[in-house]
């Protein structure tokens, strides 16, 4: 299919603060022109993007999609570790048939908010993969590991073959990563195994690190190192890992992350809600640590809304440094687009609007009162825009949402499925 987007204000995210006015021509899954319409290009579909900003699709680089079940559930806990105890008890009751509907609801929410690619870490990956393939979104699915090396080897044996096959039949929409949960739930043997499998498979390692001060203190007591240093000693940081949170690094951690070029995935809402702290984004940027943005799961956020994360990340960077220019709006949008694509190993295919890349494009309506006057479009997207301003979502040339109507997911039906399943899950307790 050939699609022509006309009259758009385009933020390509290819170079700093680059803004252009014009058209985007799409053929199949690829962008074939940006700015001027190529001679002889005849579109099957024309989209008038007057009063719209065209932005690369957002990349939610860290989430747990199926945790939508636990949204707004038992939020009054003292910290991350108490919250985990509450959640793990319910997660122990989950079965594979619970996961597909929850994943579809999460994906619907992400598409409605302009996300075209996400990285997931959860159980029963086969069901999440089915939801991904049905919806037309891109994803890196984590092969999630807990416990010791023996338990992790069983998980890998059970799931790796399926993930390989799913990747190969997905036409590059699906990838997989190895996803050991955290240093306090995985043994050193599990992390060494994860690093070895990631090298063999040519994929990345996705894990949590230094999310809380308690985690750092306990890791030092147990291993004599910070979580970041501990992961490096186990070979995790050598192969292009990406680490969620990293709220509490020391100076040596920051230097190590910069040297290894490991991406830190910032999850500001989750960090605030659970009282984990404020990640030092400005220090990371000054040290040239790659950065991306994520929502975490809907149970610790409680939304999968990247525009909320953009605004909060900007505010926290300003208030924590006392410097309103600590991170520019462009820097923050880069985290949510090109930075996320790089973290997930997809920088050659998405993250920017450029000829030859996949057509992962969102159109944001700027006609609302809260967006007028537009003035600086980068600032408008970070500080003023809402996910409800997303008008159209295209992923690899396929329309996932048009005029706020989802094209691949029946939202009403999947919401009802999740509510029915949640009532059943609650009945399984105790």
The pLDDT tens digits for 360-369 are 999 999 999 9
Domain boundary among 343, 373, 390: 343
Query: pTM for the whole thing?
Result: 0.97
SS3 content of the chain, % helix, strand, coil (to 5): 45, 25, 35
- Domain that residue 62 falls in: 58-343
Are the beta carbons of 205 and 239 closer than 8 angstroms? Answer: yes
Q: What percent of the chain has pLDDT over 70?
A: 99
Q: Tell me whether residue 193 is in a domain.
A: yes
Q: In this structure, what CATH number is given to the domain that contains residue 12?
A: 2.30.40.10
Q: Tell me whether residue 334 is in a domain.
A: yes
**Which residues 6+ apart lie within 8 Å of 331 measured at CB?**
285
232 in the same domain as 336: yes
* Helices and strands, counts by H and E, the chain: 15, 17
- The pLDDT value given to residue 430: 52
Q: Tell me whether residue 239 is in a domain.
A: yes
89 in the same domain as 39: no
Q: Tell me whether residue 370 is in a domain.
A: yes
Q: Tell me whether residue 352 is in a domain.
A: no
Q: Give the pLDDT mean for 90-101.
A: 90
Confidence grade of residue 245 (pLDDT, cut at 50, 70, 90):
very high
Residues recorded for the chain: 430
236 in the same domain as 121: yes
Q: How many folded domains does the chain comprise?
A: 2
Residue with tokens 């997911």: 409
117 in the same domain as 174: yes
Q: Tell me whether residue 429 is in a domain.
A: no
124 in the same domain as 43: no
203 in the same domain as 321: yes
**122-179 residue pLDDT tens:** 999 999 999 999 999 999 999 999 999 999 999 999 999 999 999 999 999 999 999 9
Dihedral angle over CA of 244, 245, 250, 253, nearest 10: 10
Are the beta carbons of 403 and 411 closer than 8 angstroms? Answer: no
Q: Tell me whether residue 115 is in a domain.
A: yes
Domain boundary among 300, 315, 343: 343
Q: Give the pLDDT mean for 218-236.
A: 98
Strand partners, 141: 120, 176
Confidence grade of residue 85 (pLDDT, cut at 50, 70, 90):
confident
103 in the same domain as 234: yes
Distance CA 214, CA 237 (A): 22
H/E stretch holding 213 reads: helix 213-223
- Please state, rounded to an integer, the average pLDDT across all residues of the chain: 96
Measured between alpha carbons, how far is residue 146 from residues 160, 193, 239, 282 in Å?
15, 12, 20, 32
Q: In this structure, what CATH number is given to the domain that contains residue 139?
A: 3.20.20.140
Q: Tell me whether residue 428 is in a domain.
A: no
76 in the same domain as 113: yes
State both tokens at 39: 């001679």
Are the beta carbons of 30 and 72 closer than 8 angstroms? Answer: no
367 in the same domain as 326: no
């Amino acid at each position: 299919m050939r699609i022509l987007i006309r009259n758009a204000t385009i933020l390509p995210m290819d170079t700093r603060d680059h803004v252009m006015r014009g058209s985007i021509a799409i053929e199949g899954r690829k962008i074939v022109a940006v700015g001027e319409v190529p001679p002889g290009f005849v579109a099957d579909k024309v989209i008038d993007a007057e009063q719209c900003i065209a932005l690369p699709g957002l990349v939610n680089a860290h989430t747990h999609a199926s945790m939508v079940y636990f949204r707004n559930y038992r939020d009054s806990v003292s910290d991350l570790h108490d919250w985990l105890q509450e959640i793990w008890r319910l997660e122990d009751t989950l079965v594979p048939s619970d996961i597909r509907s929850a994943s579809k609801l999460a994906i619907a929410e992400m598409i409605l908010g302009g996300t075209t690619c996400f990285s997931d870490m959860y159980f029963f990956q086969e069901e999440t993969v089915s939801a991904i393939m049905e919806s037309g979104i891109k994803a890196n699915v984590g092969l999630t590991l807990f416990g010791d090396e023996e338990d992790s080897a069983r998980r890998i044996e059970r799931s790796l073959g399926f993930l390989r096959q799913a990747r190969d039949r997905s036409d590059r929409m699906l990838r997989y990563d190895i996803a050991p949960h955290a240093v306090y739930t995985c043994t050193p043997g599990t992390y060494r195994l994860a690093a070895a499998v990631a090298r063999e498979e040519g994929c990345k390692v996705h894990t949590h690190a230094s999310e809380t001060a308690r985690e750092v203190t306990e890791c030092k007591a147990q291993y004599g190192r910070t979580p970041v240093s501990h992961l490096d000693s186990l070979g995790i940081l050598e192969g292009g890992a990406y680490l969620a949170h990293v709220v509490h690094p020391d100076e040596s951690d920051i230097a190590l992350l910069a040297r290894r070029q490991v991406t830190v995935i910032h999850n500001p809402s989750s960090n605030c809600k659970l009282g984990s702290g404020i990640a030092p984004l400005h220090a990371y940027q000054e040290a040239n640590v790659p950065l991306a943005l994520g929502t975490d799961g809907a149970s610790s956020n409680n939304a999968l809304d990247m525009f909320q994360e953009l605004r909060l990340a900007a505010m926290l960077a300003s208030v924590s440094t006392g410097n309103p220019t600590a991170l520019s709006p462009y820097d923050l949008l880069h985290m949510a687009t090109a930075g996320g694509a790089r973290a997930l190993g997809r920088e050659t295919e998405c993250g920017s609007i450029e000829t030859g890349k996949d057509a992962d494009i969102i159109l944001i309506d700027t006609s609302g009162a809260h967006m007028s006057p537009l003035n600086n479009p980068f600032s408008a997207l970070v500080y003023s825009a809402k996910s409800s301003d997303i008008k159209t979502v295209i992923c690899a040339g396929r329309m996932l949402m048009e005029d706020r109507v989802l094209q691949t997911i029946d939202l009403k039906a999947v919401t009802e499925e999740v509510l029915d399943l949640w009532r059943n899950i609650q009945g399984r307790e105790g």
